[in-house]
Amino acid sequence: MIRSVCIGCSAVVEANEDAAGTALICARCGGIIQVPEAAPTGRASASVKPTQSRSADRRAQYVLGSMYGLFVLCLPFALLHSKDGSPLCLCLFAVNLILGTASGFLFLAGMHTPDYLTDWLRMPFTRLRALGLLLPLTVLGLAVAVHIYSP
């Protein structure tokens, strides 16, 4: 039996060794529980685990950080020239709309916790995490769209 812990509610779940490397749905909160691979005993496996966990969280931090950073960087310049409609302003608004749309896609996908998204970002998605990390950028993207297309 392999013991796994739910990230959302900290429930401990025991899974068969056949389920190693798969994802289970928590019966208590509905979150995804990643069942780890059955690790061989010894010091080699203990030294590999911390490195994998540190690098696993980095991709999500880089992706989400760059999305928020680009949005915050482009928005003031776009708003400064929003009245004259210069090409730079329109390009920066387009960047903000694309980032808002991408975060909306990730938000809606994160609400259903698909495996391809959690594997690509290397971040276990819970509904609360998707709500807290992606909804603000989605709302900001919607506000930019309203600002651009309002008379």
Tens digit of each residue's pLDDT (9 = 90 or more) over 88-126: 888 888 888 888 888 888 777 767 766 666 677 777 777
Regarding whether 58 and 31 lie in a shared domain, the answer is no
Regarding pTM above 0.75, the answer is no
Q: How many domains does the chain have?
A: 2
Lowest mean pLDDT, pick from 73-82, 117-126, 138-147: 117-126
Domain range for 28: 1-38
Which is more confidently placed, 47 or 120? Answer: 120
For the cut 60, the answer to whether the pLDDT of residue 48 exceeds it is no
Regarding whether 88 and 59 lie in a shared domain, the answer is yes
Q: Which two tokens stand for residue 133?
A: 């990390």
Regarding whether 32 and 2 lie in a shared domain, the answer is yes
Regarding whether 34 and 70 lie in a shared domain, the answer is no
Regarding whether 76 and 149 lie in a shared domain, the answer is yes
Q: Which two tokens stand for residue 140?
A: 């900001």
Burial tier of 123 (Cβ tally within 10 Å: 0-12, 13-18, 19+): buried
Regarding whether 74 and 53 lie in a shared domain, the answer is yes
